[in-house]
């Protein structure tokens, strides 16, 4: 890619501390790792068959099975330690749901599968075998499974499996897309863990192509919402800015527009007037940070909520030390910095009462956030 060689000389004068800033465009795609111990499965639909591929000890392993309408089981070779039960292609998920008594929410997993499992087990969302334990309740994941950490594949299979198990139990798992899902799919690989660039090399596809429409998780991602309204609460990754309120008036239409454009090249979605507002780095639902960086005060938040007839908005994307309440409980920030691989928290909404679940399984009130402090 040519633009990487055309760094403006002025960039070299920037203080070194700025080089880690996520907004800086100069961040480069990492070089692939030299060796992948264990990754997979990546499962692809090939005619009426399913082909699963793993990287075990830096070698590709493959298994092909007929696609069964009731589901096809692949036992683990390496990588994800549980069997995966692959269903036929799924339909786009619903965007608006009635209120439900109990919701658990988490976001910004960023490849930290081990930490996610500990957090979900400690709070009895899953059992010791990593199976759904929340019965008829709802789990919402507010985006950003991709990038940074080394266990993205495992995290996606866990969520894919939990969704089936929850549905069978009368509960639900809702995965909401984050900006990192859209970035990987449109080939912006600046945050991809080097491990996955090696996996892609070994599998003979680009990393986005491992999540193409013929891949099971890729197809699943293309049916996930960006906006999910449950009762009077809206869940999404970034936030609804005043500039983008119209996108949230009809969540189903906006979700369909995202789904139709996933995987379209970045330059194209940004240039096309029909999709530019969906991908705007400052104001779009997957990127907005205005509830926290001082751009929008509490009156502004209230105006957005009133236009959308919402009681609250639950968002990830902007990292916090804790699951926190902002603007008098109108905005709940649930990116608890799992990406650092050290700690994480869950949001519980139980009959209108909010609390956070900690890594040791205890439950405490939400932290009080301070707007103006950018995460
Ligand atoms: Zn994000």
| pLDDT one-digit tens code per residue, 19-28 | 444 544 568 8
- The pLDDT of residue 118 is above 70: yes
- What is the whole-number distance in angstroms between the Cα of residue 288 and the centre of ligand 1? 9
Strand 228-230 with 96-97, pairing: parallel
- Above pLDDT 70, what percent of the chain? 92
- What is the whole-number distance in angstroms between the Cα of residue 270 and the centre of ligand 1? 18
- What is the whole-number distance in angstroms between the Cα of residue 63 and the centre of ligand 1? 34
- What is the whole-number distance in angstroms between the Cα of residue 179 and the centre of ligand 1? 5
User: pLDDT per residue over 301-346, tens digit each?
Assistant: 999 999 999 999 999 999 999 999 999 999 999 999 999 999 999 9
- What is the whole-number distance in angstroms between the Cα of residue 49 and the centre of ligand 1? 35
Q: Is the peptide bond before 138 cis (omega within 30 degrees of 0)?
A: no
SS3 355: strand
Strand 363-364 with 96-97, pairing: unpaired
pLDDT bucket at 372, cuts 50 / 70 / 90 = low
In this predicted structure, which of 3-7, 34-38, 322-326 has the lowest mean pLDDT?
3-7
Residues 289-294 have a mean pLDDT of 96
- What is the whole-number distance in angstroms between the Cα of residue 43 and the centre of ligand 1? 26
- What is the whole-number distance in angstroms between the Cα of residue 48 and the centre of ligand 1? 36
**pLDDT of res. 38:** 98
Q: Are 191 and 183 in contact (CB under 8 A)?
A: yes
User: pLDDT per residue over 212-231, tens digit each?
Assistant: 999 999 999 999 999 999 99
In whole angstroms, give the CA distance from residue 275 to residue 318. Answer: 23
**pLDDT of res. 373:** 53
**pLDDT of res. 13:** 44
- Looking at per-residue pLDDT, the higher value among 233 and 22 belongs to 233
In whole angstroms, give the CA distance from residue 310 to residue 82. Answer: 39
**pLDDT of res. 26:** 66
Residues 200-204 have a mean pLDDT of 97
In whole angstroms, give the CA distance from residue 223 to residue 278. Answer: 16
pLDDT bucket at 4, cuts 50 / 70 / 90 = very low
In whole angstroms, give the CA distance from residue 146 to residue 156. Answer: 9
- What is the whole-number distance in angstroms between the Cα of residue 286 and the centre of ligand 1? 7
- What is the whole-number distance in angstroms between the Cα of residue 360 and the centre of ligand 1? 25
In this predicted structure, which of 228-237, 255-264, 365-374 has the lowest mean pLDDT?
365-374
Residues 51-62 have a mean pLDDT of 98
- What is the whole-number distance in angstroms between the Cα of residue 237 and the centre of ligand 1? 6
**pLDDT of res. 371:** 72
pTM, full prediction: 0.92
- Above pLDDT 90, what percent of the chain? 90
- What is the whole-number distance in angstroms between the Cα of residue 289 and the centre of ligand 1? 10
Q: Are 331 and 313 in contact (CB under 8 A)?
A: yes
Nearest to 167 by CA among 215, 134, 128: 134
- What is the whole-number distance in angstroms between the Cα of residue 159 and the centre of ligand 1? 18
- What is the whole-number distance in angstroms between the Cα of residue 263 and the centre of ligand 1? 17
Residues 288-300 have a mean pLDDT of 96
- What is the whole-number distance in angstroms between the Cα of residue 167 and the centre of ligand 1? 27
Residue 148: left (phi > 0), alpha (psi -120 to 50), or beta?
left
Residues 193-222 have a mean pLDDT of 97
Helix H segments across the chain? 113-122, 152-169, 179-185, 194-203, 216-221, 245-249, 251-261, 266-271, 276-279, 298-308
Task: Write out the residues surrounding ion ligand 1, Cβ under 5 A.
Answer: 144, 178-179, 317
**pLDDT of res. 18:** 45
**pLDDT of res. 27:** 82
């Amino acid at each position: 890619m040519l633009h990487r060689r055309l760094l403006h000389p002025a960039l070299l004068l920037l203080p070194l501390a700025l080089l880690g800033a996520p907004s800086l465009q100069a961040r480069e795609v990492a070089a692939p790792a030299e060796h992948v111990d264990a990754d997979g499965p990546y499962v692809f639909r090939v005619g009426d068959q399913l082909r699963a591929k793993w990287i075990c000890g830096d070698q590709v392993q493959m298994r092909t099975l007929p696609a069964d309408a009731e589901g096809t089981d692949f036992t683990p070779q390496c990588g994800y330690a549980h069997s995966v039960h692959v269903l036929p292609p799924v339909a786009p998920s619903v965007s608006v749901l009635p209120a439900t008594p109990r919701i658990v929410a988490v976001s910004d997993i960023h490849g930290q599968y081990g930490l996610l499992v500990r957090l979900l087990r400690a709070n009895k969302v899953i059992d010791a075998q990593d199976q759904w334990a929340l019965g008829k309740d709802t789990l919402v994941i507010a985006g950003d499974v991709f990038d940074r950490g080394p266990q993205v594949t495992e995290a996606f299979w866990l969520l894919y499996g939990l969704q089936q198990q929850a549905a069978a139990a009368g509960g639900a798992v809702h995965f909401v897309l984050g900006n990192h899902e859209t970035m990987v799919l449109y080939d912006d690989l600046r945050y991809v863990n080097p491990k996955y660039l090696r996996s892609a090399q070994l599998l003979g596809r680009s990393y986005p192509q491992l999540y193409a429409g013929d891949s099971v998780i890729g197809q699943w991602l293309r049916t996930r919402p960006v906006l999910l309204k449950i009762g009077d609460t809206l869940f999404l990754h970034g936030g609804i800015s005043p500039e983008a309120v119209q996108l949230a008036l009809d969540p189903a239409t906006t979700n369909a527009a995202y789904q139709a454009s996933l995987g379209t090249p970045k330059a194209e979605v940004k240039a096309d007037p029909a999709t530019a507002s969906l991908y705007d780095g400052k104001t779009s639902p997957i990127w907005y940070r205005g509830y926290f960086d001082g751009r929008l005060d509490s009156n502004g938040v209230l105006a957005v909520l009133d236009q959308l007839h919402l009681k609250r908005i639950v968002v990830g994307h902007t990292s916090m030390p804790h699951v926190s309440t902002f603007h008098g409980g109108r905005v709940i920030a649930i990116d608890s910095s799992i990406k650092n691989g050290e700690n994480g928290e869950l949001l519980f909404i139980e009959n209108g009462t909010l609390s956070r679940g900690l890594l040791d399984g205890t439950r405490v009130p939400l932290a009080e956030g301070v707007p103006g402090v950018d995460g």
